[in-house]
């Protein structure tokens, strides 16, 4: 049998439930839940700080002992750091030249968030006569 709550929320106003005068808080259950949440918090803190394979850690935490091999895919297993080689100046200059000559299609929206333009008195579909066609834009200003 389900116990009724001692109070109900009625539009931001709490009222006492008249059907359950014998309500008493289950302190044992509350203490058990608090301890469970504290254990979960400690487990997650350990997970974030561990150097071992994250999949091994999760398997152990979930009670799966069938496979104890490192995954080789998580951030703990991959020992090499990701680095990006800085391209030389000639490649940079060629990229800037290319972008200066590149034409980019800008496809304008045909819808807006609902109620976005209430001043114009239309919903989320922009009327055809107010829609902008696709525009060709040349990238000049943002690059050298």
Q: List, in order, residues 6 or more apart from 75 with CB less than 8 Å away.
A: 54
Q: Which range is least confidently modeled, 34-43, 53-62, 107-116, 131-140?
A: 131-140
Q: Counting beta carbons within 10 angstroms of the beta carbon of residue 100, is it exposed (0 to 12), middle (13 to 18) or buried (19 or more)? A: middle
pLDDT digits (tens, 9 = 90+) for 42-80: 999 999 998 889 999 999 888 888 888 898 888 888 876
Contact 139, 99 (CB under 8 A): yes
pLDDT digits (tens, 9 = 90+) for 109-124: 777 777 676 776 766 7
Of 31-45, 57-71, 79-93, the range with the highest mean pLDDT is 31-45
What's the pLDDT band for 94 if we cut at 50, 70, 90? confident
pTM of the model: 0.40
How many Å apart are CA 110 and CA 130, to the nearest integer?
9
Using alpha carbons, list the distances in angstroms from residue 35 to 15, 31, 39, 45: 30, 6, 6, 15
Task: Supply the mean pLDDT for the chain.
Answer: 76
Whether the pLDDT of residue 143 is over 50: the answer is: no
């Amino acid at each position: 049998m389900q116990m009724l709550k001692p109070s109900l929320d009625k539009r931001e106003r709490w009222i006492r439930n008249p059907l359950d005068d014998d309500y008493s808080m289950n302190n044992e259950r509350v203490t058990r839940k608090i301890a469970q949440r504290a254990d979960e918090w400690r487990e997650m803190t350990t997970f974030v700080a561990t150097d071992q394979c994250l999949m091994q850690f999760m398997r152990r935490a979930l009670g799966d002992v069938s496979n104890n091999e490192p995954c080789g895919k998580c951030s703990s297993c991959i020992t090499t750091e990701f680095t990006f080689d800085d391209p030389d100046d000639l490649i940079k200059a060629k990229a800037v030249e290319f972008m200066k000559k590149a034409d980019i299609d800008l496809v304008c929206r045909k819808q807006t968030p609902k109620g976005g333009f209430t001043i114009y008195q239309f919903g989320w579909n922009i009327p055809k006569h107010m829609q902008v066609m696709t525009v060709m834009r040349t990238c000049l200003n943002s690059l050298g």
